[in-house]
Amino acid sequence: MFEPRDHDPAPDELAGRVIAISGAGSGLGRAVALACARCQARVILIGRNVARLEAVHAEIAASGGPEATIAPLDLERALAQDYDQLADAVLERYGRLDGLLHNAALLGSLTPIEHYDVPTWCRVLHVNVTAAFALTQVLLPLLRKSADAAVLFTASSVGRRGRAYWGAYAVSKFALEGLAQVLSDELEGITAVRVNTLNPGRARTAMRRQAYPAEDPDTLPLPETLTRAYIALLGPASRGVSGRAFDAQPAAAAGGSSAASSS
């Protein structure tokens, strides 16, 4: 059975592929972007913090990887024209898209549903679900132009089994699982686009620190150690695999809560 976390990527595994990554300025998004570039992908760095995107762009250039592209996009405030401009720019520069990783997310607050702040709820659902839907929709024509394309949504353990106090974040991750299933079913048999979800598990990221401020970060794996599953699901190794939910770490290794590690 296909298991992406056990995949050993070849140095040129993603050669010729164009892969867009949201939330690429830090955390897992940054780690996956650098890993994709090391495997010779041309990476499109999507995020709201231009300085961070430029830093990742510089790291890719210094490593000798294919030239990356910076695509500033604030998923909380972006309008339809902003999404259209991004799609037009990708079409003009590359002519297609071979991979799309949704990594950007907001945690919101860890609060009982009874007391959850409604504006915060709306912000989290908008960034984590609606913006991901909009970005997928506007880039889908470019993904269809690829002979072998992948859409990958970043999942969470609390989006597969609900847990008290995780509120809008958990609900948004449940929604992404549903979005991935619906989209996979719609595209199956009529396109070369596959759609899956991946739960990264516990990782040393800013979002994890926000969720667990008392946790010792030295007990957590670095994002760079979790990228092989992403390479497998964004590259040719997962050709023909769609509509499935994967984990980047075994349950025993993940330990405890594997929520809130994407950013």
Task: Out of 83, 94, 169, 230, pick the active-site residue.
Answer: 169
| CA gap 209, 260 in Å, rounded | 9
| CA gap 131, 102 in Å, rounded | 10
Q: How would you write 105-174 as a 3-class SS string?
A: CCCCCCCCHHHCCHHHHHHHHHHHHHHHHHHHHHHHHHHHCCCCEEEEEECCHHHCCCCCCCHHHHHHHH
Measured in residues, the chain has a length of: 263
169 among known catalytic residues: yes
| CA gap 180, 173 in Å, rounded | 11
Q: Which residue has the tokens 């516990």?
A: 202
**Which residues are identified as catalytic?**
169
